[in-house]
Amino acid sequence: MQVLIMGCGRIGSMVACSLGKEGHTVYILDPIAEKFHRIPEELLIKGIIRPIVGNGIEHAHLRKAKIDTADIFIAVSGKDTPNIFAAQIAKHIFQIPKVVCKITDVSVQEMYSQLGLIAISPSNFISNMLLEAIHR
Amino acid sequence: MYILIIGCGIIGSSLAKALVMEEHEVLVIDKDISRCEALEEDLGSITVTGDGCEADVLSASGINRADLIIAVTGSDADNLVSCQLAKHLFNVPKAISLINNPVNTTLFKLLNVEVTVSSTDLILSHIEEELPAHGLVHLMPLTGTNRALVQIKIPHDAKVVGKQLKNLMLPDDTLISMIINETGTAFLANDETIIEGNGDLIALTNTNDEDALWETLTETA
């Protein structure tokens, strides 16, 4: 499958590597080229992970990262607002079958889940993990 | 009405001024403290410095009792998220958003956010550039109200040059909210403000009165 990831931070680069190793073709979009140093060179050389410098909220940049043929879109940049905006472009304009979006603010994440986005809140997730660790 | 404006640039502050003059309760939210302070110099404490895309900031601004939210920042992503939070998280009855990049119009419409496309891209980023021949540009139509925020270029030899705003014969429903002088400096207008030639003027007006307003302001001696 063809995956497009927005944001090559710690999360974005990890997800890209895992999906690449599973055999998917991964395009990864970030406005800062230096962020791509997080991707192992081997995966870049083999063309398994394809870095594109650009911003996920711009249609033109999304097209450069082959959004037209993507099966999955994952928005995991460091900021909620661009993630939400790009995810909605992917879902409603490019009609990507599966769109996943990171939203830190829990109340906002719940709202967008109700609007049909697959939204994941790290704050929610981490606090649950912490509680679990404490109660163990 | 209690109206929340997100974005304190030229459009946001002109709108705030016009709506305050109409005796609405207005609150303007912007991330940039210097913009907020500039508006407060004229209108008193009507701003909150913060991110209008954050639920906490909106909540602390009393969005729960807002009748209308108008998002006019330079970022379409920010405008959309503010409006969606207002509508879906806080049940604000009406949300209007400015669109900076027309390519985003379809998305806003699909998501049921009322939009108003403006020539802002052109105007706000190149405020020093010449306006089109007619000299009247719609900055932002206020959907559903029959009114619009317009920008009018004042000719250097216009009859109104040198006059105070209170001495102008303007159409009834028109409020002049901001003046931008020849050098591009913008400031909020009051009764004593004097019209300068080659400057721009921003006004909230009834769309039926646009032509009359334009004629009054651009008639030359």
Mutation site for B-interface testing, chosen from A85, A92, A112, A121 by largest number of B Cβ within 10 Å: A85
Q: What is the pLDDT of residues B140-187, one digit of tens each?
A: 777 667 888 888 888 888 999 999 989 988 888 898 988 888 887 888
CA gap B116, B119 in Å, rounded:
10
User: Cβ contact (<8 Å) for A111 and B89?
Assistant: yes
Q: Enumerate residue ranges in chain B where pLDDT < 50.
A: 121-133
* Contact present, B97 and B69 (Cβ < 8 Å): no
User: What is the rounded average pLDDT for all residues in chain A?
Assistant: 96
**pLDDT attached to residue B3:** 94
CA atoms within 13 A on the CB side of A6: 35
Sketch the domain layout of chain B as residue ranges.
2-117, 125-218
Judged by CB atoms closer than 8 Å, whether chains meet at B76 and A57 is answered as yes
- pTM for the predicted model, two decimal places: 0.83
pLDDT band (50, 70, 90) for residue A40: very high
Q: Which domains does chain A possess?
A: 2-135 (3.40.50.720)
Flag if A92 and B107 touch (Cβ within 8 Å). yes
A 71-100 residues with CB below 8 A of B? 80-82, 84-86, 88-89, 92-93
Other C-beta atoms lying within 10 Å of the C-beta of residue A66: 14
The confidence score (pLDDT) of residue B125 equals: 43
Please state, as a whole number, how many other Cβ atoms lie within 10 Å of the Cβ of residue A92.
16
Cβ distance B88 to A114 less than 8 Å, yes or no, reads: yes
Fold of B2-117: Rossmann fold (3.40.50)
Tell me the fold of B125-218: Alpha-Beta Plaits (3.30.70)
